[in-house]
Amino acid sequence: AQSVTQLDSHVSVSEGTPVLLRCNYSSSYSPSLFWYVQHPNKGLQLLLKYTSAATLVKGINGFEAEFKKSETSFHLTKPSAHMSDAAEYFCVVRSYQAGTALIFGKGTTLSVSS
């Protein structure tokens, strides 16, 4: 079965400093991995996805993630945080069972201070 573990429930950064949100995955097969963001009282928005092409995936709003098979990780990074990045972030793996449903991590809340 596939699963993801987000290693931090809450991350706080200052505006202009780098962002690192950590995610480890477990999968018996070559995984498809995603990062979604949810701003307060808003819907889910896809940031980026990895589907076995390039291991470094670029997403929207300056975010990127690197797939590392040897470490079973898919960490999300951004060089310089902006106040508007404050939101909840979900690391997600696609299930190979369950109708290929998405399996979500528990989420990481990113706070950005000025």
Partner 1 sequence: DVKVTQSSRYLVKRTGEKVFLECVQDMDHENMFWYRQDPGLGLRLIYFSYDVKMKEKGDIPEGYSVSREKKERFSLILESASTNQTSMYLCASRSGIDYGYTFGSGTRLTVV
Q: Which of 40, 55, 52 is CA-nearest to residue 94?
A: 52
Give yes or no for residue 105 binding partner 1 (CB under 8 A).
yes
Q: Which of 29, 40, 70, 100 binds partner 1 (CB under 8 A)?
A: 100
Q: Which residues pair with 38 in a beta bridge?
A: 44, 88
Closest distance to partner 1 from the beta carbon of 98 (Å) = 6
Q: In the range 30-89, which residues lie near partner 1 by CB under 8 A?
A: 32, 43-44, 46, 51
Is residue 3 part of the contact set for partner 1 (CB under 8 A)?
A: no
Distance CA 26, CA 46 (A): 21
Nearer to partner 1, 14 or 98 (CB): 98
- What are the DSSP calls for 75-97, one per residue? EEEESS--GGG-EEEEEEEE-SS
Torsion sign over Cα 97, 42, 89, 107: negative
Stretch near partner 1 under the rule CB under 8 A, chosen from 13-21, 53-61, 71-79, 105-113 = 105-113
Per CB under 8 A, residues contacting partner 1 are 9, 32, 43-44, 46, 51, 90, 94, 98-107
